[in-house]
Structure 1
Amino acid sequence: MMLNVHEALGRSRAGDTQVQAWVCLADEAGLAPAPAEQGALAGAAFGVKDVIDVAGLPTRSGSAAEPQAPAARDASCVAQLRAAGAVPIGKTVTAEYAYVTPGPTRNPRNPAHTPGGSSSGSAAAVAAGMVDLALGTQTGGSMIRPAAFCGVVGFKPTFGRVHRQGMHVLCDSLDTIGWFTSTVEQSRRAASVLLPDLEASAGQVAGRAPRVALLPCDAIGDVSPAARLALDHCVQSLREHGAHIVLPDVDADLRTLLHIHAQTMHAELARGLLPVLQSPQAGLLSPATRGAIDRGLGISYTEYVSSQHARESLSRAWRERFGDVDFIVTPSAPGEAPEGVQSTGSSLFNRVWSLLGWPALHLPTGCAGNGLPVGVQWVARPDQDHALLAWAQRLHPEIRRPAIV
């Protein structure tokens, strides 16, 4: 069962003084009933990142530069969830324009530590038990990183498979709508609604052990001892359950893909926010966002197009290289949620999958000695979303380890 509207609103109002996950909550008396009483998500309450429209609530993208007028209609993804019986109860905090300047949200596991970003409010609302489902978005690591820091299941689908009508898009070729849940089973229920025609791939997991690629990504960054132990324990457990593990050498490609992601993100962000920069509200932009726009405007169109050609070439090569792999195991984050709330943490281990557009899933597996969550990231080839979630539901119980260090 998932929390209903009455339960979710009660928990949210009671617990949000400390967590500050919500921009606004709906009035229960004024909520429109869901059109489906027997749908896959009948009665379930959910939160919506404040870059996605919900009819009757404003969409301000974490910025004072955006108007407070309520949206006239739902975004497509919200409409799909409503049609399956779910009810949006409010808008969750996002970093400014889903970039890096954090909002007020605190990590429910330890308020002195960041919840991650930019989908901070959605991850925190699920982690705090306010809702079992919340929508977020990812451009670099804005789904997987906060899921890791808050200790919840986070899923970023294949790029382009969840319609973005009604979303304030930051980067046209990167932004992907995803969701946070309390369990993998709940994530699969959301996927059955938002990715309804891809479910046949889930049948591939029955009756056999998986073929798994391990990418520690040592060439691009270090991980904490707890994150390393979580990765090692996951791989050991998969081996014990018959998985065939391969270790491809992709270090050079990883560095190239990270460079292309940076070029792509800044170029697209700058053009996406150019109307704000040219408006009277430009002075309300944070220094970090203004700096990113300036960097992006310095990237020529020729440079941008050249990077996209390189991206397409590497994407084809990686599809072929990982063609016989069921999923990839790799770090979700450099470690536990960093102390302090002035930064949302590093998305280093997520950007490649955002650039390639492959589905990615964070699985919480335990806690470090300081009580903060750690886990692992599983990634699959495009349109293997349901298969990835099916593997996770089958194997997640086997890779959990309550105490990591």
Structure 2
Amino acid sequence: MEPYELTASEASKLIAERKLSCEELVRSTLKRIEEREPTIRAWTYLDPQRAIRQARELDKQPAKSPLHGLTFGVKDMIDTADMPTSHNSPVYFEHRPGKDAACVSVVRHSGALILGKTDTVEFASGGRKAATRNPWNLAHTPGGSSSGSGAAVADRMVQLAFGTQTGGSHIRPASFNGIYGIKPTHGAISREGAKMYSHTLDTVGWYGRSVADLQLVAEAFRLVGHDTAAPVDVKGLKVGLCRSPVWRKSEPAGRAALAAAAKRLEAAGAIVIELELPAPFGELNAAQETIMQGEGRAAFLPEYLAYRHLLHQDFVDKVEGAHGITPEALIAAYDLAADCRRTFDGLFGKELDVILTPAAPGEAPEGLHTTGDWAFNAMWTLLHVPCVGIPVGLGSQGLPVGIQIVGPRFSDAALLRIADACAPVIDLGGTIPHVESEEEAVAA
């Protein structure tokens, strides 16, 4: 096995035991990038020689944390002091902010090696798409807006990478690329230094190739309960199977993935129950869109005033109020979200430990003109709850499909423990058993 093939947790153990040097890891990773990047196009900025120099410096230092020497990709709308942050926009081409975003600072000062910047949808919100291709099939999208981060981790060009989510920009690419991802509780990770789209929705998350990888980063961020969360046994775990109010948007592969995950958990001793959310939750996706467009109007006003001639029409429309978002609509959306958050948190306890729900409609769509539908993510983003994406297997087109598990607000550490127990049961690889119809999916 070449070092680049190691998961973050595997590499961390070898580095701690001095069986692998940081330089060996980064050289192997850079070689992989050299071979694959012309095809995948995941990166917007790399400086291989600087990465090697940094790795040598890390080899001289005592390990600060389990992240020591691990390679990290940063979505190119998150600021880095030593690399450009372009936002995939002509407005900020080769812009150098001069200061790390808070999330970058945390992992850098924990010993991670910031390898480069990964491609994104413009401003992580609209306009230009990333050039990145899905490593499983180059004709298909890797999802977005965290396109480069998802593809780079999936194609083993980096051990870990940051993404962000305002609608479904983080968890959906995890599903499309067959990797693990966590969207933490809103506000658990500082988003200072990441381009603002919606202060109510924007959330920084990260990708890895195992739950253990996600946990390494969670420890660095000192997520609430990371040092006290107890191990979980799948047997007796109370799982709410939630198709969500947008089930009609599911595709055969998505329905099959959810059915397979539920069946595998049940076979392992979990108690899987049907969970139908109260009627008001059916309005949350529309509320998320209202808040996103309404807050986006203020977020892009500075660029509009200074660089309107360089802005994609998407952002001009937001600032000029083309979506017709009224103050009354925004207030109603905020109030609905607040009510539903309290209701949702109250579902957990004696009768429910975790929710199992789709991460995407199905397999990644064909074409780089789209990043897929975030219908199965928007509600959870607005609820501010933590979500962990887990691969299930391959759909009929040979592309990955995953699910997500969801917990109440600030249960991130406990949710990762649940994911750690459930992943070996759910993530079996191979082709997912086909489900003929929606009725069969419900029956399964």
TM-score, length-scaled by structure 1: 0.94
User: Within 5 A, what are the aligned runs for 1:178-193?
Assistant: 178-193=205-220
In the alignment, is the contact (CA less than 8 A) between 2:225 and 2:414 conserved in 1? Answer: no
Task: Between 228-237 and 105-114, report the one with greater CA deviation.
Answer: 228-237
Query: Residue in 2 aligned with 1:203?
Result: 230
Q: Secondary structure at the match of 1:198?
A: coil
- Establish whether residue 194 from structure 1 lines up as the match of residue 215 from structure 2: no
- Which stretches in structure 1 are left out of the alignment for 5+ residues? none
Query: Residue in 2 aligned with 1:272?
Result: 299
Measure, in 1, the Cα distance between the counterparts of 2:69 and 2:217.
13
Structure 1 residue 204, shift from structure 2 partner: 5.9
Q: Secondary structure at the match of 1:137?
A: strand
Measure, in 2, the Cα distance between the counterparts of 1:9 and 1:353.
36
Deviations 1:379-403 (Å, cap 9, x if unpaired)? Answer: 1111111111111112211123411
Structure 1 residue 230, shift from structure 2 partner: 1.3
Q: Secondary structure at the match of 2:404?
A: strand
| Residue among 156, 159, 162 paired with 1:135 | 162
Query: Residue in 1 aligned with 2:153?
Result: 126
In the alignment, is the contact (CA less than 8 A) between 1:269 and 1:296 conserved in 2? Answer: no
Q: Secondary structure at the match of 2:194?
A: coil
What is the number of residues matched between the two proteins?
404
Measure, in 2, the Cα distance between the counterparts of 1:296 and 1:82.
41
Report % sequence identity.
36
TM-score, length-scaled by structure 2: 0.86
1:323/1:267 Cα in 2 relative to 1: closer, same or farther (>3 Å)?
Answer: farther
In the alignment, is the contact (CA less than 8 A) between 1:212 and 1:246 conserved in 2? Answer: yes
Measure, in 2, the Cα distance between the counterparts of 1:143 and 1:187.
13
Measure, in 2, the Cα distance between the counterparts of 1:52 and 1:306.
31
1:202/1:209 Cα in 2 relative to 1: closer, same or farther (>3 Å)?
Answer: farther
| Residue among 413, 422, 426 paired with 1:395 | 422
Q: Secondary structure at the match of 1:161?
A: coil
Deviations 1:156-212 (Å, cap 9, x if unpaired)? Answer: 001101111221111111100000111111111111112344314521625852111
In the alignment, is the contact (CA less than 8 A) between 1:263 and 1:296 conserved in 2? Answer: no
Query: Residue in 1 aligned with 2:344?
Result: 318
Structure 1 residue 369, shift from structure 2 partner: 2.4
Structure 1 residue 278, shift from structure 2 partner: 1.3
Task: Between 330-339 and 215-224, report the one with greater CA deviation.
Answer: 215-224
AA at the equivalent of 2:86: R
User: Within 5 A, what are the aligned runs for 1:6-405?
Assistant: 6-29=27-50, 32=54, 33-34=57-58, 37-66=63-92, 68-101=94-127, 102-200=129-227, 202-203=229-230, 205=232, 209-217=236-244, 219-250=246-277, 252-279=279-306, 281-295=307-321, 298-324=324-350, 325-401=352-428, 402-404=430-432, 405=434
AA at the equivalent of 1:403: T
In the alignment, is the contact (CA less than 8 A) between 2:234 and 2:422 conserved in 1? Answer: no
Q: Secondary structure at the match of 1:40?
A: coil
Measure, in 1, the Cα distance between the counterparts of 2:151 and 2:299.
27
1:201/1:231 Cα in 2 relative to 1: closer, same or farther (>3 Å)?
Answer: farther
Measure, in 1, the Cα distance between the counterparts of 2:209 and 2:246.
32
Measure, in 2, the Cα distance between the counterparts of 1:113 and 1:129.
18
Structure 1 residue 91, shift from structure 2 partner: 0.4
Structure 1 residue 306, shift from structure 2 partner: 3.0
Measure, in 2, the Cα distance between the counterparts of 1:6 and 1:154.
25
Task: Between 49-58 and 394-403, report the one with greater CA deviation.
Answer: 394-403
